[in-house]
Amino acid sequence: MKRETQNILLVLLGGALVKIAVNGDYLRYVKPAQQPWIIAGGAVMVVLGAVAIVRDLLAARAKPAVRVERGAVAEPTALVEPAAVAERAAVVEPATVAELAAVAEPAAGAKPAAAADRDLDRGGLAPAGHGAGGPASAGHDHAGHSHATRSAWLLLVPVLAVFLVAPPALGADSVIRTEARAPSSAAAANAAAFPPLPAGNVVPLSVNEFVSRAGWDASGTLDGRTISLTGFVVHTGGNTLLARLVISCCAADAFPVTVHLRGGEADHLASDAWIQVTGQVVPGTATKSNSYTPDFTPASITTVAAPKDPYEY
């Protein structure tokens, strides 16, 4: 890959990182705490690429000046007066002039070098310097170099795709392909780890906390309480689930937590549609055999816009 292509890729990739960090799209891939590092990394890449481009431009401008200095022809240190030229011409004897003219004329039947080269070319013979390593071979090498350059520029396509259209966050497809589970920290939890829910007719909870309480809270703090949950719809195995993805660092380590919605009110909704549901848990339904997916009896279901930060932590 040519240096120019490398530098442009570096600038574009750094610009893409800064862009998604500023407009919030980075939340589709990492936790909010990573924003300063993304901005810093992207800025460093842009600066490095810009410095390399400027340095190459300055070096390219300096090369012609160097070539002129190397190829310069020394000018004569003294000018010859016209009178001196005439005097010298008069000194030259006629015989000497005739001898010089005879030497300058080509021998009879001799051909100039350019004509000889043309004759060799017509006969299929190449003069020195025009063989396997001559212009024909150079043409093939140039064509190969052109193909390699075009292939290198194709690497810009995925960078531009990230820069112009940021890939979406993980959704229903990831939930279907990954087994749902309660957070690992919940396995060692006891009743003391789950304080009583706050007072109120409707208690909003994250899906992560709701699943943890439903699977591991022996004191039954969820029983009989009306809970509000927000997540996206997943259809799998004839069931409709409310799901969220939990990440520890980035989307690569995401795992789903799911809630089974009873009653069929959400069956008509499209996968990945975001909804807010209120209702109550069915006690004792979150077990290891069903990957800690509690049943939930909805009292109301409302479609909502996807949040800026789609993950839970």
User: Which pairs count as long-range contacts for 218-223, CB under 8 Å and 24+ apart, including other chains?
Assistant: 218/190, 218/191, 219/191, 219/194, 220/283, 221/194, 221/195, 221/196, 221/197, 222/197, 222/280, 222/281, 222/283, 223/281, 223/283
All residues at 6 or more sequence positions from 152 whose CB lies less than 8 Å from its CB, including other chains: 1, 2, 5
Relative to beta strand 311-312, strand 239-246 is parallel
Would you kindly state where each structural domain of the chain is located, as residue ranges?
A: 3-73+126-164, 173-312
Q: Provide the 8-state DSSP code for 313.
A: -
The 3-state DSSP class for residue 4 equals: helix
- pLDDT, one tens digit per residue, over 113-122 is 444 444 444 4
The pLDDT value given to residue 101: 47
The 3-state DSSP class for residue 208 equals: helix
Burial class from Cβ neighbours inside 10 Å (0-12, 13-18, 19+) for residue 178 reads: middle
**8 A C-beta contact, residue 312 and residue 244:** yes
Relative to beta strand 311-312, strand 295-303 is unpaired
pTM: 0.63
The 3-state DSSP class for residue 278 equals: strand
**Please, how many CA atoms are within 13 Å of residue 131, restricted to the half-sphere of its CB?**
4
Which of 10-14, 100-104, 166-170, 235-239 is the most confident on average? 235-239
173-312 maps to which CATH number? 2.40.50.140
Angle of CA points 303, 305, 308, to nearest 5°: 145
- pLDDT, one tens digit per residue, over 177-210 is 886 655 555 444 555 578 889 999 999 999 999 9
The pLDDT value given to residue 285: 95
What's the mean per-residue pLDDT of the chain? 76
